Amino acid sequence: MLARYGKRKVRLAEILVALAGAGAHVVIGTTTDPHNTRFLERLRLLSDDFRVSDRVAIAVDTSNQLHTKALTGDDFALAGSMNITFNGIQVREEFIDLRTDSAYVAQARMDAFDRFGGVL
């Protein structure tokens, strides 16, 4: 995924590393699909370069059944079928649901933790 920041595009890996640099714990749950390789390599390199590797974890689902996309934070849970790519956000008709009620968010965080690890 690319986002505009001034005159250059910012990659999702850069955003995630910036969040880790600000103290967030970032956990990526992904599959072994070859399309993920460049993103994961970029994320690992940036995490090392910015010395935040201890706050960035990658969990690989080898069953390749994972399809739902989700982002969870302290007070939100965003989940759906939308790929976090240009096509997923700008082109295709996708589903995504933002929830902020504390019970739902707490359950989403526990579900993510149970599946991928990280920090509650």
45, pLDDT greater than 80:
yes
pLDDT of residue 68: 77
Other beta carbons within 10 angstroms of residue 113's beta carbon come to 14
5, pLDDT greater than 70:
no
Reported as a single tens digit per residue, the pLDDT across 48-58 is 999 999 999 99
3-state SS class at 69? strand
Which range is least confidently modeled, 17-21, 34-38, 100-104? 34-38
Written as six digits, the tokens of 23 are 């103290």
CB 24 within 8 Å of CB 55: yes
pLDDT of residue 119: 63
More confident residue, 54 or 118: 54
More confident residue, 101 or 119: 101
Q: In which element (H, E) is residue 49 found?
A: helix 37-49
Distance between CA atoms of residues 35 and 75, nearest Å: 30
More confident residue, 46 or 65: 46
3-state SS class at 113? helix
CB 63 within 8 Å of CB 45: no
pLDDT of residue 6: 67
Classify residue 105 as exposed, middle or buried by CB count within 10 Å of its CB (0-12, 13-18, 19+).
Answer: middle
3-state SS class at 26? strand
Is pTM, for the whole model, over 0.85? no
